Amino acid sequence: MKAWRVHANGEPREVMRLEEVPDPQPGPGQLLLRVRAANVNFPDALLCRGHYQVRPPLPFTPGVEICGEVLAAGDGAAGEVGARVLAQPPLPDGGFAELAVVDAATVRPAPEALDDAEAAALHIGYQTGWFGLHRRARLRAGETLLVHAAAGGVGSAAVQLGKAAGAQVIGVVGGADKARTARELGCDLVLDRRSDDLVAAVKEATGGRGADVVYDPVGGDAYAKSVKCIAFEGRIVVVGFAGGSIPSPALNHALVKNYAILGLHWGLYNTKDPAAVDACHEELTKLAAQGVIKPLIGGRVPLAEAAEAVQRVADGTSVGRLVVVPGAEATR
Ligand SMILES: NC(=O)c1ccc[n+]([C@@H]2O[C@H](COP(=O)([O-])OP(=O)(O)OC[C@H]3O[C@@H](n4cnc5c(N)ncnc54)[C@H](OP(=O)(O)O)[C@@H]3O)[C@@H](O)[C@H]2O)c1
């Protein structure tokens, strides 16, 4: 089969190579999947650069979530041949490939309401949004939610989930194209981090109160601005550091303004509370069937263009999710 492999760390377009490798075989408890769609996540870029919290042995295949079709089951593995499933192929053998092997216990049914690319983009981004907004921040209807990188992968999911929860959503983006996307997603107010005075605009929009919940996948300057426009008893959810710098919060500031800084590592719930992850998948499937959420696909690219797609996400120029669809014609 064909698979992208990383032999040395560096920029995605320089270090990802499309190679012919032996077809993988499912072991006991495993399923062999044909990759129908593999979603690009920011961590794919960090993995290429060697900057992710996990450093798989070289060479490895990036691609942390897919929609696949079951081709075969190993000994003792429950799985119906032909079923369409969501899965997270374990590194070093990720999803930017024609085939993937995954533990049968970790696959979930792909929602019927979503096509392959949308389904591939449902899991990590929306689960992270759900746990961040509901479990960590306890977002309530009528509250104001500020989402950084609102036109991005996890950001666009948080916007949709925030609207579904009855919040007023302020989206912060970089540039006019992304601002248009954020408005189309349903943001009540969109701010361009490059040209707008974010702090003043949030205060004006909230009658001086500030945002009740901030969802921050960016860090750096985004975090610095958030603490200046967070409401009394507000909650800042620390989701990631796509901007490249990790803020050092001033705890005296959190004390005098009565706000909470909440860390979120969604992946931990898979071991700490797997039942909650299952319940969340059911809820997300229901919301997708009702049309309340629908992953924003910024482009579908064939397997041969995966490295360019990962580079665009690394450079911060992508909108929504870019999805690798092996064999598909590119649409951007
Ligand atoms: N905590 C968790 O459990 C969890 C789970 C999933 C993802 N994450 C994290 O969430 C973050 C977002 O992931 P994603 O896959 O959804 O990516 P993404 O939001 O689609 O892309 C990153 C966005 O960050 C913004 N950005 C600001 N400065 C940037 C810079 N210097 N370089 C690149 N981007 C920059 C850009 O949007 P604007 O130009 O609009 O600002 C860009 O589109 C990542 O840090 C990821 O690791 C965390």
Give the residue extent of every domain in the chain.
2-122+296-324, 124-267
88 pocket-lining for ligand 1 (C-beta < 6 Å)? no
Query: Over the stretch 86-138, which tens digit does the pLDDT of each residue have?
Result: 999 999 999 999 999 999 999 999 999 999 999 999 999 999 999 999 999 99
Point out the ligand 1 atom lying closest to the alpha carbon of residue 222: 27
Q: Is the dihedral of CA 96, 101, 105, 109 positive or negative?
A: positive
Whether the model clears a pTM of 0.95, i.e. scores above it, the answer is: yes
Q: Show pLDDT as tens, one digit a residue, over the chain (332 residues).
A: 999 999 999 999 999 999 999 999 999 999 999 999 999 999 999 999 999 989 999 999 999 999 999 999 999 999 999 999 999 999 999 999 999 999 999 999 999 999 999 999 999 999 999 999 999 999 999 999 999 999 999 999 999 999 999 999 999 999 999 999 999 999 999 999 999 999 999 999 999 999 999 999 999 999 999 999 999 999 999 999 999 999 999 999 999 999 999 999 999 999 999 999 999 999 999 999 999 999 999 999 999 999 999 999 999 999 999 999 997 755 54
320 pocket-lining for ligand 1 (C-beta < 6 Å)? no
SS3 188: coil
For residue 81, the model assigns a pLDDT of 97
d(CA 230, CA 203): 9
For residue 329, the model assigns a pLDDT of 55
Point out the ligand 1 atom lying closest to the alpha carbon of residue 193: 41
151 pocket-lining for ligand 1 (C-beta < 6 Å)? yes
Point out the ligand 1 atom lying closest to the alpha carbon of residue 317: 43
* HEC sequence for 258-296: CCEEEECCHHHHHHHCHHHHHHHHHHHHHHHHCCCCCCC
63 pocket-lining for ligand 1 (C-beta < 6 Å)? no
215 pocket-lining for ligand 1 (C-beta < 6 Å)? no
User: Is residue 98 a contact partner of residue 73, using CB atoms and an 8 Å limit?
Assistant: no
159 alpha carbon – ligand 1 mean position (Å): 14
Q: Using CA positions, which residue lies closest to atom 30 of ligand 1?
A: 243
277 pocket-lining for ligand 1 (C-beta < 6 Å)? no
Q: Do domains 2-122+296-324 and 124-267 have the same CATH topology?
A: yes
Point out the ligand 1 atom lying closest to the alpha carbon of residue 321: 20
Which residue's entry shows tokens 């990036």? Answer: 62
Q: Which CATH superfamily is domain 124-267 in?
A: Medium-chain alcohol dehydrogenases, catalytic domain (3.90.180.10)
For residue 269, the model assigns a pLDDT of 98
45 pocket-lining for ligand 1 (C-beta < 6 Å)? no
The architecture that CATH gives domain 2-122+296-324 is: Alpha-Beta Complex (3.90)
Q: Using CA positions, which residue lies closest to atom 18 of ligand 1?
A: 152
